[in-house]
Amino acid sequence: MKATRLLEIKLLKNIDFWLLAIGAGLTAIILTLTWKSGDVAHAGMTVVFLLAVISLLEDKRHHLILESGIFSSTVGGLLIGILLWQSANFHDINSPEVFLRVSPLISALGLGLLASGFKGLKQYSQELTILFFLGIPKLALSSLFDISPLTAKFSAFLLWYCGVDVSLQGVFLNLPTGSVKVYEGCSGIESVCYLLGIAVICLLMFPTKRKQRILVIVIAAALGFIINGIRVALLAIMVLKLNRTAFIYWHEGDGSLIFGIIEVLAFILFYFLLYRQQEEKNQDYTKVER
């Protein structure tokens, strides 16, 4: 009996080791491909989302049930195998962006099936939700909506309010010295989706009251849209002043990343204040009860 128990413990430790090794390998592959793709913003967000997943798993690792059947292990292995094959042929993929945004979720599903089977996937609902919001919303919303005209209208309003001579024609901001086209990549849909993902991470790791969750989601989407609209207006001003160097910096260079950082910091500040206010109310309520 003791020998059998020792064997089970040894096998469990081996399972933990192999799952950790597979997870680390998949993470390294995804991060490497994302970085090589040149999408620095998505690479940075991928790191943030993965760190959140790792933190949640670390908190619950002693309570996870690692029991998987042959069928679920086979499906999980196939998912990981397909992912590895696609990674090896990354440059031949028709839609590399789709692969980079879907692969973290597929990796997690495959690893979850290997570890705990279909029934045990509910243990990883939080982690899967976070990885879902890393890339899926952007792909889905981009295929359904184009908010470029709305972004152009908002940026045109900001310029008009600041006294800039601007006229709007569809997605074009017409200025005395040139025009700026607000195409899909500058519409702000990506910023909105990233902040929605950050909002989900905050709600899962630092929960608030149900009534406040809708407010958190709305503020996240609004911040992403508004701050991106300010960035587009700034680009238009660079065109107005014929400052091509500054335009390239804020459009394609580090300037575009700075706005992304501002969006994240602005939302985190909002959530921190909201969460702190809730904690203070809870403490006051506890004191009254006493």
Q: Residues near 105 by Cβ (< 8 Å), separated by ≥ 6?
A: 128, 131, 132, 134, 135, 136
Distance CA 147, CA 189 (A): 7
162 shares its domain with 287:
yes
Q: Is 214 left (phi over 0), alpha (psi -120 to 50) or beta?
A: alpha
Full domain range(s) for residue 269: 145-290
pLDDT at site 285: 58
206 — phi, psi (to 5°)?
-135, 75
Residues of the chain with pLDDT > 90, as a percent, come to: 46
The total number of structural domains in the chain stands at: 2
Pair (1, 131) in one structural domain: yes
Q: 114 and 74, same structural domain?
A: yes
Q: Which ranges in 117-253 belong to alpha helices (H)?
A: 125-144, 148-161, 189-205, 210-240, 244-251
Say whether both 113 and 161 belong to one domain: no
Q: Enumerate residue ranges in the chain where pLDDT < 50.
A: 1-12
CB 148 within 8 A of CB 184: yes
Can you tell me the distance from the alpha carbon of 275 to that of 217, in angstroms, rounded to the nearest whole number? 14
Phi–psi pair at 89, nearest 5 degrees: -115, 35
- Same structural domain, 53 and 125: yes
CA distance 242 to 260: 24
Question: What is the model's pLDDT at position 248?
Answer: 81
User: Residues near 170 by Cβ (< 8 Å), separated by ≥ 6?
Assistant: 149, 152
Q: Residue 122: what pLDDT?
A: 92
Do 135 and 152 fall into the same domain? no
What's residue 19's pLDDT? Answer: 82
The pLDDT of residue 152: 92
pLDDT of residue 153: 93
